[in-house]
């Protein structure tokens, strides 16, 4: 991320910095054996989160957390290439793992806060985040609005230097394990729907805030529903200007759709080994020599490489300051379209062994679970249809699709929806 403040920061030599990080990691962190572990939802408990906080604190105290964050907010104020270099050196070590909260905290919410938040709040809040003391979830979606983020009905009412929040959020991943949430609320009901919105940072232990995990059909509870009943927070927790929340939203969407990953501009992109997970599935199934199976594996490998190239391109646009929500939507749409295709290929390559497994095999259910969850990215964070609209209208210059509510006060939109009969006016 680029610095939000003008700072005089001594820029060290990049290779010397990389060597310093390599030495520190070897002396202070545990080298991982084997590839990164993939943990299921229920793995993340308060105890696991607490262990991650200790590791994050160690990294923070050494100066390797928030490398590209402003120094005034507890970071190092260095260019993003230095963060990319550190992450490259750290990829084989055991680091703090907060599950989805790692991405929502460090990849989406806090960088958005740094771009739009109030300096006094950020100076106190961001160092706690970098030290692992404040993990942030997303209070975005609502039961009544689906992918229409601008249709938020959670109400923010100003009371002097305080705000009172009332409403409901849903699908808040790991909210029950988070310390704070970034919340979108409607602060002016007489403005059109994309105006009259404001963002707030909300402590998850606030009086009046109830967070309930949702038990899903697969017997896991990563999502929560959240009820705001007269939740009172100070104005300093407001992120961005009053009623200008859609500007903040654009920054957030860029981050959520992949624009927040630090990249090394000099790193070369290579196809890498041929889809290792699928090759292993084929060997288990005894079909590695089958020409049809080989074609399927080759197609999956192509998907992997094209996706990596697209991700690198989006990251480069972000580094150059040329990335907007429309461009970032390409990455989100790619995963929404091709995750299901690749998951189907895995099932076909694995055959019956991908659908039934020895209970003693810890990785036995991986392929079938991936297939069951493969459409997540076509829905979560905005559907494929929403991404296509954004690309068409923002990047390709296509006419905006007809909208009956764009210019109306939001209160009128709700009244019209309530009174709608479906019959033509006479």
Write out the catalytic residue numbers.
Answer: 256
Query: Hey, what's the torsion of the CAs at 385, 386, 390, 396, to 10 degrees?
Result: 0
Residue 389 CA to residue 333 CA, distance in Å, equals 11
Report in angstroms the alpha-carbon separations of 299 from 99, 177, 246, 376: 29, 38, 39, 21
Start-to-end CA span in the chain (Å)? 56
Instruction: Name the β-bridge partners of 224.
Output: 213
Residue matched to tokens 């190239």: 309
Residue 363 CA to residue 91 CA, distance in Å, equals 22
Task: List the structure tokens of 108.
Answer: 């989406």
Helix-, strand-, coil-residue percentages of the chain, each rounded to 5: 45, 15, 40
Task: List the structure tokens of 393.
Answer: 């209208």
Query: Hey, what's the torsion of the CAs at 248, 136, 187, 393, to 10 degrees?
Result: 40
- 38 CB-contact burial (10 Å; exposed 0-12 / middle 13-18 / buried 19+): exposed
Pairing of strands 197-203, 180-186: antiparallel
Query: Hey, what's the torsion of the CAs at 37, 41, 43, 47, to 10 degrees?
Result: 120
Residue 211 near residue 172, CB atoms below 8 Å: yes
Query: Hey, is 216 helix, strand or coil?
Result: coil
Residue 400 near residue 164, CB atoms below 8 Å: no
Query: Hey, is 299 helix, strand or coil?
Result: helix
User: CB-based contacts of 51: which residues, under 8 Å, 6+ apart?
Assistant: none
**CA dihedral sign of residues 415, 417, 423, 426:** positive
Residue 397 near residue 390, CB atoms below 8 Å: no
Pairing of strands 162-170, 224-234: antiparallel
Nearest C-alpha neighbor of 174 from the set 81, 84, 97: 97
Residue 239 CA to residue 107 CA, distance in Å, equals 16
């Amino acid at each position: 991320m680029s610095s939000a403040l003008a700072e005089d920061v001594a820029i060290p030599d990049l290779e010397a910095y990389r060597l310093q990080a390599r030495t520190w990691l070897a002396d202070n962190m545990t080298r991982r054996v084997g590839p990164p572990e993939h943990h299921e939802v229920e793995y993340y408990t308060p105890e696991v989160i607490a262990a991650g906080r200790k590791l994050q604190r160690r990294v923070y105290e050494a100066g390797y957390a928030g490398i590209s964050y402003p120094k005034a907010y507890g970071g190092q104020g260095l260019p993003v290439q230095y963060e990319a270099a550190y992450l490259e050196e750290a990829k084989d070590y055991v680091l703090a793992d907060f599950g989805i909260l790692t991405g929502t905290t460090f990849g989406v919410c806090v960088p958005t806060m740094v771009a739009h938040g109030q300096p006094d709040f950020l100076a106190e809040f961001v160092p706690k985040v970098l030290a692992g003391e404040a993990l942030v979830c997303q209070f975005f979606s609502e039961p009544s609005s689906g992918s229409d983020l601008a249709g938020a009905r959670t109400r923010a009412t100003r009371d002097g230097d305080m705000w009172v929040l009332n409403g409901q959020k849903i699908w808040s991943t790991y909210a029950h394990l988070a310390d704070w949430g970034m919340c979108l609320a409607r602060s002016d009901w007489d403005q059109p729907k994309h105006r009259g919105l404001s963002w707030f940072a909300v402590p998850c232990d606030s009086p009046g805030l109830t967070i309930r995990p949702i038990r899903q059909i697969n017997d896991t509870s990563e999502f929560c529903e959240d009820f705001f009943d007269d939740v009172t927070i100070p104005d300093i927790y407001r992120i961005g200007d009053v009623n200008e929340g859609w500007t903040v939203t654009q920054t957030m969407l860029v981050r959520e759709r992949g624009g927040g990953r630090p990249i090394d501009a000099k790193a070369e992109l290579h196809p890498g080994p041929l889809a290792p997970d699928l090759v292993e599935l084929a060997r288990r199934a005894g079909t590695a020599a089958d020409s049809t199976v080989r074609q399927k594996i080759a197609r999956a490998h192509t998907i992997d490489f094209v996706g990596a190239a697209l991700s690198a391109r989006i990251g480069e646009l972000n580094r150059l300051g040329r990335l907007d929500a429309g461009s970032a939507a390409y990455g989100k749409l790619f995963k929404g379209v091709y995750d299901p295709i690749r998951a189907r290929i895995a099932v076909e390559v694995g055959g019956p062994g991908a659908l039934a497994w020895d209970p003693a095999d810890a990785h036995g259910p991986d392929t079938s679970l991936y297939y069951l969850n493969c459409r997540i990215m076509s829905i979560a964070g905005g559907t494929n249809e929403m991404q296509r609209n954004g690309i068409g209208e923002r990047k390709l210059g296509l006419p905006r699709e007809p909208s009956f509510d764009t210019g109306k006060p939001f209160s009128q939109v709700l009244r019209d929806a309530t009174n709608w009969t479906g019959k033509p006016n006479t």
